[in-house]
Amino acid sequence: DAEITQSPRHKITETGRQVTLACHQTWNHNNMFWYRQDLGHGLRLIHYSYGVQDTNKGEVSDGYSVSRSNTEDLPLTLESAASSQTSVYFCASSEPDQETQYFGPGTRLLVL
């Protein structure tokens, strides 16, 4: 069965360190998205991609970057982790011209 996976599921890091969160989908979807979920804010879009070599900034992109070298993967990098980036991160994918998104299980990140 097709799926979308995220790793690690839990991560503790220190401020200033670079952190990369992995997202891998086997749906063969062109569209991929990264969100963060925080109490009081809901899901907010960080970055998204509509295909290989395409990346776009979302609502809360400062301090984050993504790269899309193949269809299956969209890693999210925190260049220099800050305590404000402590959150639960979700990756999602969708088919072109379709609004239904399929979500991964999430990565819980704690920045100390």
- The pair of three-digit structure tokens given for residue 54, joined into one six-digit string: 């395409």
Task: Find the binder of another protein among 25, 31, 85, 87 (CB under 8 A).
Answer: 31
Rounded Cα–Cα distance for residues 29 and 97 (Å): 11
34 is an interface residue for another protein by CB under 8 A: no
Tell me how far, at minimum, the Cβ of 80 lies from another protein, in Å: 27
Q: Which is nearer to another protein, 27 or 103 (CB)?
A: 103
Binding track, positions 1-30, relative to another protein; x by CB under 8 A: ------------------------------
Contact (CB, 8 A) for 110 and 86: yes
Residues 48 to 77: which contact another protein by CB under 8 A?
48, 50, 58
Which of the ranges 15-23, 41-49, 60-68, 75-83 carries the binding residues for another protein, by CB under 8 A? 41-49
Residues that bind another protein (CB under 8 A): 31, 33, 35, 40-45, 48, 50, 58, 90, 92, 94, 96-106
